[in-house]
Chains A and B, each alone.
Chain A
Amino acid sequence: MQDYLFDEHFDKYPLAMAYVPWQHFDKMYDDLEKAFHNGTIFPELNKPFTGRRCV
């Protein structure tokens, strides 16, 4: 699977299309119970919805 670096190929991306940045396995929560309650083992994907703004 190809690994896209958005910053490097910015001009190659057609306009009006949606892109999802490629995830890299960096770290996971040491405390798995915390991960379970957050709904993800990846700290960078822990994005609680507050009803007003994204965190």
Chain B
Amino acid sequence: MGSREQMLKDIGIVDFTLIELTLYLDTHPYDRSAIEYFNHYSRIKNQMTKEFSQKFFPLTIDMAESNKEWRWGMAPLPWEGACN
């Protein structure tokens, strides 16, 4: 468990890795080893996003499950610097 900034940075890095693997797999759809890497990092990213969303604020709308307050609406907005 790191700080909010560190966790966001790590999520960005894993997300970038997934985008790269996606681009590769779009032209190599039967590459088993690339698929394995994709599945691996995809699971990690889901886990990290979920962890971040529970600890700080929901990063995507499907992570916005709320109790007393609407967490999605309470989350900091991009122009408030929360995504940097």
Contacts and interface: CB of A to CB of B under 8 A. Distances in A.
A23 B17 contact: no
Given A32-B13, A32-B14, A41 B20 contact: yes
Interface in B9-30: 12-14, 16-17, 20-21, 24, 27-30
Contacts of B27: 1, 23
Q: How large is the interface on A (under 10, 10 to 19, 20 to 34, 35 or more residues)?
A: 10 to 19
Interface of A: 1, 23, 25, 28, 32-33, 35-36, 40-42
B28 A25 contact: yes
Contacts of A25: 24, 28, 31, 33-34
Contacts of A33: 13
13 contacts: A23-B27, A25-B24, A25-B28, A25-B33, A28-B37, A32-B14, A32-B16, A35-B13, A35-B20, A36-B13, A36-B16, A36-B17, A41-B21
Q: Which 9 A-B residue pairings sit nearest by Cβ, starting from the closest?
A: A41-B20, A36-B13, A25-B34, A36-B16, A32-B13, A25-B31, A32-B17, A41-B17, A25-B33
Q: How large is the interface on B (under 10, 10 to 19, 20 to 34, 35 or more residues)?
A: 10 to 19
A1 B12 CA distance: 31
Contacts of A42: 20, 24
A7 to B, nearest CB: 20
